[in-house]
Structure 1
Amino acid sequence: MNKQPQGNIFHTPEMFRVFDQTKGHKSTLWAVVDNDNCPLALLLPVHVTLMNGLLRQLTTRAIAYGSILSVPGTAGQTALALLLQTYKREAKGTALFTELRNLSDLGQPQTLLNDNGFAYEGHLNYLINLNRPAEELLQSIGQRTRKKIRKGLRDGFVQMSEATTLAELEHWYEILQKTYSNAQVPLADRSLFMAAFNELYPKGMAKFLLAQVNGVTAACSIELPYKNVIYGWYGGSDRAYSDYLPNEMLIWHILEWGANNGYGIYDFGGAGKPDEEYGVRDFKAKFGGDLVNFGRNVYVHNPSLLKLSKRGYEVYRRFFIR
């Protein structure tokens, strides 16, 4: 993994175990290996299920959070073609669709994905260059946001800390849960974050950040440092404290930490589809990163069931998410 430039945290054994310990999730691993059992191509789709029982088939999707991975050259391309063809045949009926979330420019494999029915869909993201002094990094942030951050640093109302115990993690999750409930968006079960705390945190692969105002938690996030990149994964905030800009202060905290600790890139974790308005994208744009469109690739295993599922999901959001 460390030898592959496009290998990311979602390809690691630690993350595989995190998802496999999460309620409603099931990690799977598909690989093509050479005669020495060295991987040539890798796919790690996680089955995510919203409801069990009779509705399981209608609410299960497969997500490869780190997309595909293959060795360079002809051997990698041949192995990837075999992997995709085998996966489509053997995984039929296990999920409505499989989504590959590309965290970098796939290059040549993108053509192979399209040829195998994994349709490309635009999906934006912001990447921030951390390979510079913290002051230069701050200067690259939008003027209004930069001024607010400087004021916040002077005033000192927002204090940063990390959740380092299970009790603090429980409190961290409450803030995140409240944010997702207000947005009427499903949030992964707390077992995901418990698993991340147990598997990633001890190895320095996760930071559970808290931004507090007068001792009260106003914002939270989980950041995933791995190799040269810090991946922004989940975040939330309490609207009652928005005047103190806890989100902005929290983002600046992790950017400054990354720049001071030898990281090269902050990955903002997605900025929505290019043709759709997305308030979160507007927030992330303020930090002056590079807008990229590595996109996603989607293979639909059952178009009819997927259509029915989309209708049911809107009902689920309306009546069951509070």
Structure 2
Amino acid sequence: MRIVRFLDGGTWRHFVESQPASNIFHTPEMFQVFTRAKRHRPMLWAVTDNGGQVLALLLPVQITLRGGFLRRLTTRAVVYGSVLYEPGSAGKEALAFLLHAYAQEAGREVLFTELRNLSDLSAVQPVLNDCGFLYEDHLNYLIDLDRPAEDVMQSIGARTRKHIQRGLKKREVVVEEITGRGQIGACYDLLRKSYAAARVPLADRSLFEAAFDVLHHQGMVKFWLARVGDAYVATSVELLYKGVMYGWYGGVDRAYAGYTPGELLMWHILKWGVENGYRLYDFGGAGRPDVEYGVRDFKAKFGGTLVNYGRNTRVHAPALLHLSRWGYTVYRQLFLRARLKNARSGDFSR
């Protein structure tokens, strides 16, 4: 076995497509998206056997909030699709070899590495823990789309279903698909407003433009907007791969909450998925079970199955991480408070 840092597109794509547990974040296309996004630096780590067959794959994305002298304190690595390995003892051995090698180098560049598990990885949890990637609970909701749309509607909570049905009758909320790159700005403005209200950093606009440029023509992403009159009031971005819709980003203008645009947009997306042959909607995470999370409450209303695939994290620089967390608290209180003020006033120039 040997570590490689490059795979040709054919070999990479064949390995990913042949693995039942693969997801869109393992694809070369998603790697290209992150490559084009500011403050994102994707890396490829893989293990191959003597014949060049891929046995394990790791695709960490280094994300930096601030450059310059603050880069070391604000850079983490996220493996959005978690690890991918060939089932069996050889795959597990390759995964352990891969993670040990990665950890030796990553410690010089990032504070920590987080594996975001999108499927059940209980079979390799001992391997992950032995390599220093410690498990913690993290929830998600999955909605079965392989059934009639009416069945999906009936699975939605009674109160939310009533609001959706009333909104459909009134026809005040109109859902549109973004078909041109120039419309990304309307989507991003809504995301900025939502993330500022939650005091959470949002990825640079270049990430969404890259997703449109790389994925849209291949049918691997959908950008949606909901409007009331001429005002855009909600947005959602879904990634599409192997019959699964992944909820990636979403935002709502709270000033229009009375129209329930978020719920109506979500129903439109689920119905579209059913009608276009998708089998599953993955909400993309619902937080830790011991922490209140308003987004989880919204997702729970749609009647999906609650799963706990968890996340695994390895801290590479404990002292720096402690300092970084203190700095991030100050950042949220000062910088994001200013962003919230700008969002409320409609000023998105900063």
Bin of the TM-score, shorter chain as denominator length: over 0.9
Superposition pairs of residues 34-45 of structure 1, within 5 angstroms? 34-45=49-60
- Partner-residue secondary structure (3-state), 2:18: coil
Shift of 1:90: 2.1
Shift of 1:166: 2.1
Shift of 1:183: 1.5
- Aligned partners of 2:314, 2:120: CA distance in 1, in Å? 19
- Aligned partners of 2:59, 2:128: CA distance in 1, in Å? 15
Superposition pairs of residues 1-322 of structure 1, within 5 angstroms? 1-321=16-336, 322=339
- Aligned partners of 1:75, 1:62: CA distance in 2, in Å? 26
- Aligned partners of 1:3, 1:228: CA distance in 2, in Å? 14
CA deviation map 1:195-225 (0-9, x unaligned): 0010011111110100111131110010011
Shift of 1:53: 1.0
- Of Structure 1 and Structure 2, which has the larger fraction of its residues in helix? 2
- Aligned partners of 2:50, 2:275: CA distance in 1, in Å? 43
Aligned residue type for 1:36? G
- Partner-residue secondary structure (3-state), 2:309: coil
Shift of 1:316: 0.9
Shift of 1:35: 2.2
Paired residues in the alignment total: 322
Shift of 1:107: 2.7
- Aligned partners of 2:111, 2:190: CA distance in 1, in Å? 31
**Which deviates the most, 171-180 or 295-304?**
171-180
- Aligned partners of 1:225, 1:91: CA distance in 2, in Å? 30
Identity fraction in percent: 61
- Aligned partners of 1:251, 1:163: CA distance in 2, in Å? 15
- Partner-residue secondary structure (3-state), 1:288: coil
**Which deviates the most, 96-105 or 31-40?**
31-40
- Aligned partners of 2:314, 2:138: CA distance in 1, in Å? 16
- Aligned partners of 1:29, 1:287: CA distance in 2, in Å? 36
Shift of 1:88: 1.1
Q: CA RMSD in A?
A: 0.8
- Aligned partners of 1:162, 1:260: CA distance in 2, in Å? 15
- Aligned partners of 2:101, 2:51: CA distance in 1, in Å? 21
- Partner-residue secondary structure (3-state), 2:232: strand
TM-score, length-scaled by structure 2: 0.91
- Aligned partners of 2:231, 2:96: CA distance in 1, in Å? 52
